[in-house]
Amino acid sequence: MIEIKALTKIYGNFTAVDRINLSIRPGEIFGFIGPNGAGKTTTIKMIGGILAPTSGSVVIAGIDMAAKPEAAKSKIGFIPDRPYLYEKLTGMEFLRFTADLYDVRTPEFNSRAVQNLELFSLRDWADDLIESYSHGMKQRLIMAAALLHEPEVIIVDEPMVGLDPRAIRLVKDLFRQLAAEGTTIFMSTHTLKVAEETCDRIGIISRGQMIASGTTDDLRREANVSDADLETVFLNLTGAEEN
Amino acid sequence: MNTVRTLLAPRFWPISREGILKSRTGSRFKRLFLGLIGLVFWLGVFGISWRVLVYFKGIEEIGDILGFKLLSMLLIVSFALLLFSGILASLSKLYLSRDLPLVHAMPVPAYKIFFSRWIDSTIDSSWMVSLFTVPVFLAYGIVYQAGPFYYVTFLQCLFALIVIASAISTMGVVIGVMLIPASRMKSVFVLLGVMSFVGIYLAIRLLRPEQLVDPEIFDTVMVYVASLESPSSPILPSTWAYDAIRAALTGAALESCFHSAIAWSFAATCLFAALILADRVYFKGYSKAQTAPQRLLRKAAVNESLFAFLPGRLKAYTIKEIKTFLRDQTQWSQLFLLAALVIIYIYNFSVLPLDKSPIRTIYLQNLFAFLNMGLALFVLTAVSARFAYPAVSQEKNAFWVVKVSPIGLTTFLWIKFWVYYPPLLILTEILIVATNLLLQVTPFMMGLSTLTVFLLVPGIVSMGIGLGAAFPDFKAENPAQTVTSFGGLIFMILCTALIALVVVVEAGPVYRLFLASLHDRPLSAGEWAWIVVSFAAVFVISLAAIFLPMRYGVRQLEQLTS
């Protein structure tokens, strides 16, 4: 569902992302972890079509992002880490705005908007201005918007930031449910516990390069540690990389 | 077009939802007040334009020529302003707006995103120029007794100029972003600032306004008249608009339509070219612009040891303010524009043919010096609006640092005051001294104006800092956004009132002193008393202008942030 080949991004003399290769199948939850400044967000932006790569390709559901960006983006529900929302719109207006851009027709919008708002406990605030929302509410609104057009791929950068434990549980359960229904989820996170509990496979990026990829057992073997948690595996792998 | 309409929706939905008047009482009052002020200015522009045109109409032989020369000047300057503001607006909307990642993640073609942003930036960059040129055109229509055709013509010509200016400036920005290395992206601002300086300078010099007051440059009256009639460059869109509007004023409808058609065909061509260009390179340029910015000046531009004599907290904030200012290249274009205005302001004094004025007297020179004092202080007000007024708002999300630090808000605001006061004082004193020297004023006027400026500069800076604190906008993306607000308008009005009040209070005594000097007679006791009381009043007004706004600012900021 997501095919990334030799994806590279160079800024001047600095290589932010260096020839990353990935293949993620339908219905898989793929976790993307790495130290700060490793290139996670740059990679996610390229996959989401917000940033043009220096070289390499991104193919979403068989559609090349560079050749047909609109068609590829229409398959994606994009959830950024620090969402910008139009503060002077209400929650419902923002959903309508998103739905219009994804060609969600009015009958479907009416039912899905209410459904998603209820799912994310925002129904009572739908007609309030976004500027009155807390950070967690904004995060949930952006998730509600990203799911309106029933995307085949969800790309999410730091999904749990600003969410309370109930919301975190909700998001985890939701991702599992969507994956079971065939949606591919590409998730970047710092919360290793979430990655361990939720993801089918995990990729570790460091200094722009994919240094390890696989299930948590695969990663333990790679790091030469057995029965260790993901944090230990991560620190071993990224520490070795830095050394 | 549906997609473009949707992309523009976030701008217009809040307005249509709230309506102009239907909102909370406080903001309704603010809008009414703003509307009233705007109406007063609008009527003022109309009144002055009408008066000037009626006067020109009354001058035999060359009255109409003068009127049309003024029209030409208006269109050239308007076009230059539209180009400049179009550059800044399009750079911001196309590459720097915070919602761009959200919009680019949507399945929308890049050229449609570009088009919606272009419409947005065109509105932002042109509404003020349009609003305040319309009364001038209306005055022309009334004075020249033009028919309905004229009113349609000037509106559509103005619209064509707006489209052309916006399309050209946007294409310049898109190309500039592609040409300049990504790490130097914000150097675009420096480049744009220099271009704006050159553009505005050329526009002003193209007009050669000093010719209007110096007929002796020309050998004969006919040469003078011919020079007034000489057309502007035929390849300028402002010339096509001028030709169309002038023809409409004089009843030559076909000729007017011809020139309008030229303007509109060029507008359509520019817009078409901009869309094609955007389709090719806009997204590439946007991707390029997302690199982490590199500093333009890698070496330390601030020698911290220079400020060692300052107390700790003042030193910390002074160094912070100067460093962040120098590293914020979005401010540099404002700096260039202000430098252009100041230089043009002084230069225009140097070309005024004062020695050829038929009523040249010491009285006239010193009258100019007195008025110049007001003008220089108004320039200071404009500069303070761009730099001192947004000072508190520029703390943005980092304001929490101020709140948790062991300095009170009063100290914080006074620190801000002392950071901006010295450079603004130096700027204004240079302005007043330079122009007074060009005006060849008496030592008394030189002393009076420099002292008055010295007394008023801290008041104006204090009002900038204080009112900026009372009406902060921590979410503004740039300083220019902060000042175009209710608080910014209050600041401009109060500063204008302060300057006018001081000028009026000083005018009487100064006039008495001149008359006494002219007639070589001593002043009476009553006159002396009046002079002393007047200058004492100026001193008290200056002190009040320094302390009252700061107290108000502290109080309001405390209420807002607690």
CB contact under 8 A, B102 and A80: yes
Phi, psi of B371 (to 5 degrees): -65, -35
β-bridge mates for residue A15, sequence order: A10
Quick check: is B299 in a domain?
no
Burial status of residue B217 (CB atoms within 10 A of its CB: 0-12, 13-18, 19 or more):
middle
Quick check: is B127 in a domain?
yes
Among A102, A128, A150, residue at a domain's last position: A150
CA distance A208 to chain B (A): 15
Look at residue B160 in the predicted model and tell me its pLDDT: 95
The average pLDDT across B105-130 equals 90
Q: Is B105 on the interface with A (CB under 8 A)?
A: yes
Q: Give me the residue from B7, B10, B182 closest to A89, CB to CB.
A: B10
Q: Give me the residue from A73, A80, A89 closest to B101, CB to CB.
A: A80
Answer yes or no: do B209 and B343 share one domain.
no
CB contact under 8 A, A100 and B2: yes
Quick check: is A164 in a domain?
no
Q: B23 falls in which pLDDT band (50, 70, 90)?
A: very low
> What whole-number distance in Å separates Cα of residue A45 and Cα of residue A173?
25
Answer yes or no: do A138 and A92 share one domain.
yes
Answer yes or no: do B262 and B354 share one domain.
no
Q: Is A152 on the interface with B (CB under 8 A)?
A: no
Among B243, B261, B292, residue at a domain's last position: B292
CB contact under 8 A, A86 and B2: no
Look at residue B457 in the predicted model and tell me its pLDDT: 95
CB contact under 8 A, B106 and A102: yes
Name the residue of chain B whose CA is nearest to A142's CA. B102
Quick check: is A22 in a domain?
yes
Look at residue A28 in the predicted model and tell me its pLDDT: 94
Contacting residues of A for B287, CB less than 8 Å apart: 51-52
Give me the number of domains chain A comprises.
2
CB contact under 8 A, A49 and B109: no
Q: Is A76 on the interface with B (CB under 8 A)?
A: yes
Answer yes or no: do B286 and B320 share one domain.
no
Answer yes or no: do A86 and A41 share one domain.
no
Q: Which of B451, B481, B483 is nearest to B381 (CA)?
A: B483
Q: Give me the residue from A11, A70, A89 closest to B182, CB to CB.
A: A11
Answer yes or no: do A8 and A70 share one domain.
yes
Q: Give me the residue from B14, B108, B475 closest to A70, CB to CB.
A: B108
Contacting residues of A for B108, CB less than 8 Å apart: 70, 73, 101
Q: Is A66 on the interface with B (CB under 8 A)?
A: no
More confident residue, B12 or A127: A127
Q: What is the DSSP letter of B394?
A: G
Quick check: is B443 in a domain?
yes
CB contact under 8 A, B104 and A49: yes
pLDDT digits (tens, 9 = 90+) for B257-268: 999 999 999 999
Look at residue A151 in the predicted model and tell me its pLDDT: 93
Quick check: is B40 in a domain?
yes
Answer yes or no: do A58 and A138 share one domain.
no
More confident residue, B448 or B228: B448
The average pLDDT across B35-60 equals 85
Answer yes or no: do B281 and B317 share one domain.
no
CA B363 vs CA A195, B29, B503, B510: distances in Å: 83, 45, 16, 11
Q: Is the pTM of this model over 0.90?
A: no
Q: B348 falls in which pLDDT band (50, 70, 90)?
A: low
Quick check: is A221 in a domain?
yes
CB contact under 8 A, A70 and B99: no
Answer yes or no: do A107 and A225 share one domain.
no
CATH code of the domain covering residue A238:
3.40.50.300
Residues 134-193 of B with CB under 8 A from A: 181-183
Task: Report whether pLDDT(B21) > 50.
Answer: no
More confident residue, B184 or B436: B436
CA distance A130 to chain B (A): 11
Residues 77-106 of A with CB under 8 A from B: 78, 80, 83-89, 93, 97-98, 100-102
Q: Which of B163, B167, B157, B192 is nearest to B75 (CA)?
A: B157
Answer yes or no: do B273 and B345 share one domain.
no
Q: Which residues contact A87 (CB under 8 A, 6 or more apart)?
A: A129, A130, A131, B475
Q: A112 falls in which pLDDT band (50, 70, 90)?
A: very high
Quick check: is A230 in a domain?
yes
Burial status of residue B119 (CB atoms within 10 A of its CB: 0-12, 13-18, 19 or more):
middle
Quick check: is B15 in a domain?
no
Answer yes or no: do B403 and B485 share one domain.
yes
| Residue A186 Cα to chain centre, angstroms | 5
Q: What is the DSSP letter of A14?
A: E
Contacting residues of B for A69, CB less than 8 Å apart: 107, 109-110, 283
Q: Is B295 on the interface with A (CB under 8 A)?
A: no
Contacting residues of A for B110, CB less than 8 Å apart: 69
Sign of the alpha-carbon dihedral angle for B210, B216, B220, B221: positive
Quick check: is A173 in a domain?
no
B415 residue type, one letter: I
The average pLDDT across B21-36 equals 66
Task: Report whether pLDDT(B165) > 90.
Answer: yes
The average pLDDT across A178-200 equals 88
Contacting residues of A for B182, CB less than 8 Å apart: 11-12
Residue B282 domain boundaries: 1-6+24-292
> What whole-number distance in Å separates Cα of residue B194 and Cα of residue B461?
27
* Most confident among A115-129, A207-221, B57-71, B405-419 (mean pLDDT): A115-129
Quick check: is A32 in a domain?
yes
Quick check: is A58 in a domain?
yes
pLDDT digits (tens, 9 = 90+) for B192-234: 666 666 666 666 665 565 555 555 554 555 555 555 555 567 8
> What whole-number distance in Å separates Cα of residue A124 and Cα of residue A205?
40
Q: B20 falls in which pLDDT band (50, 70, 90)?
A: very low
Q: B143 falls in which pLDDT band (50, 70, 90)?
A: very high
CB contact under 8 A, A100 and B107: no
Task: Report whether pLDDT(B446) > 60.
Answer: yes
The average pLDDT across B23-51 equals 78
pLDDT digits (tens, 9 = 90+) for B410-441: 888 998 898 899 989 998 998 888 888 877 78
Task: Report whether pLDDT(B37) > 60.
Answer: yes
Quick check: is B301 in a domain?
no
* Most confident among A108-122, B7-21, B168-182, B379-393 (mean pLDDT): A108-122
CB contact under 8 A, B106 and A50: no
CB B212 within 8 A of CB B69: yes
Answer yes or no: do A69 and A86 share one domain.
no
Which runs of consecutive H residues, i.e. helices, occur in A38-127?
A: 40-47, 69-73, 91-101, 106-119
The average pLDDT across A204-227 equals 82
Answer yes or no: do A111 and A193 share one domain.
no
Answer yes or no: do B267 and B342 share one domain.
no
The mean of the pLDDT values for chain A is 87
Q: Which residues contact A79 (CB under 8 A, 6 or more apart)?
A: A142, A143, A146, A154, A155, A156, A157, A159
Q: Is B2 on the interface with A (CB under 8 A)?
A: yes
Q: Where are the beta strands (DSSP E) in chain A?
A: 2-11, 14-24, 29-33, 55-60, 63-64, 76-79, 153-157, 184-188, 201-206, 209-214
Lowest mean pLDDT among A90-94, A176-180, B225-229: B225-229
More confident residue, B82 or B325: B82
Q: B318 falls in which pLDDT band (50, 70, 90)?
A: confident
Quick check: is A176 in a domain?
no
Task: Report whether pLDDT(B22) > 50.
Answer: no
Answer yes or no: do B260 and B330 share one domain.
no
The average pLDDT across B358-380 equals 72
Quick check: is B423 in a domain?
yes
Specify the pairing of strand A76-79 against strand A153-157: parallel
Answer yes or no: do A142 and A208 share one domain.
no
Q: Is A109 on the interface with B (CB under 8 A)?
A: no
CB contact under 8 A, A11 and B287: no
CA distance A230 to chain B (A): 31
Name the residue of chain A whose CA is nearest to B98's CA. A84
Per-residue tokens: A77? 């529900």
Name the residue of chain B whose CA is nearest to A102's CA. B107
The average pLDDT across B89-99 equals 85
Among B292, B321, B338, residue at a domain's last position: B292
Answer yes or no: do A134 and A32 share one domain.
no
CA distance B550 to chain A (A): 29
Q: Is A50 on the interface with B (CB under 8 A)?
A: yes
Contacting residues of B for A98, CB less than 8 Å apart: 106
Task: Report whether pLDDT(B383) > 50.
Answer: yes
Which residue has tokens 């004025």?
B357
Q: Which residues contact A128 (CB under 8 A, 6 or more apart)?
A: A90, A91
Look at residue B227 in the predicted model and tell me its pLDDT: 55
Look at residue B211 in the predicted model and tell me its pLDDT: 56
Give me the number of domains chain B comprises.
2
Answer yes or no: do B287 and B338 share one domain.
no
Answer yes or no: do B356 and B272 share one domain.
no
Q: If you write DSSP's letter for every residue of B251-262 in order, what string do you get? A: T-HHHHHHHHHH
Q: Is B39 on the interface with A (CB under 8 A)?
A: no
CB contact under 8 A, B183 and A12: yes
Q: Which residues contact B207 (CB under 8 A, 6 or more apart)?
A: B73, B76, B77
Q: Is A12 on the interface with B (CB under 8 A)?
A: yes
Look at residue B267 in the predicted model and tell me its pLDDT: 96
Answer yes or no: do A232 and A155 share one domain.
yes
Helix axis angle for B486-518 and B443-470, nearest 10°, is 160
Quick check: is B14 in a domain?
no
Contacting residues of A for B283, CB less than 8 Å apart: 52, 69
Look at residue B261 in the predicted model and tell me its pLDDT: 95
Answer yes or no: do A239 and A221 share one domain.
yes
Look at residue B361 in the predicted model and tell me its pLDDT: 59
Q: Is A11 on the interface with B (CB under 8 A)?
A: yes
Answer yes or no: do B425 and B282 share one domain.
no
Q: B186 falls in which pLDDT band (50, 70, 90)?
A: low
B532 residue type, one letter: V
CB A41 within 8 A of CB A81: yes
Q: Which residues contact B274 (CB under 8 A, 6 or more apart)?
A: B114, B118, B167, B170, B171, B174
Rg (CA), chain A: 18
CA B520 vs CA A55, A89, B507, B513, B515: distances in Å: 86, 71, 19, 10, 8
Q: Give me the residue from B109, B283, B292 closest to A52, CB to CB.
A: B283
Answer yes or no: do B283 and B328 share one domain.
no
Q: Is A9 on the interface with B (CB under 8 A)?
A: no
Among A150, A170, A205, residue at a domain's last position: A150
Answer yes or no: do A91 and A122 share one domain.
yes
Q: Give me the residue from A12, A84, A88 closest to B14, CB to CB.
A: A88
User: What whole-number percentage of chain B has pLDDT above 70?
Assistant: 78
Q: Give me the residue from A73, A85, A87 closest to B107, CB to CB.
A: A73
Contacting residues of B for A87, CB less than 8 Å apart: 475
> What whole-number distance in Å separates Cα of residue B146 and Cα of residue B144?
5
Residue A70 domain boundaries: 1-74+151-159+185-243
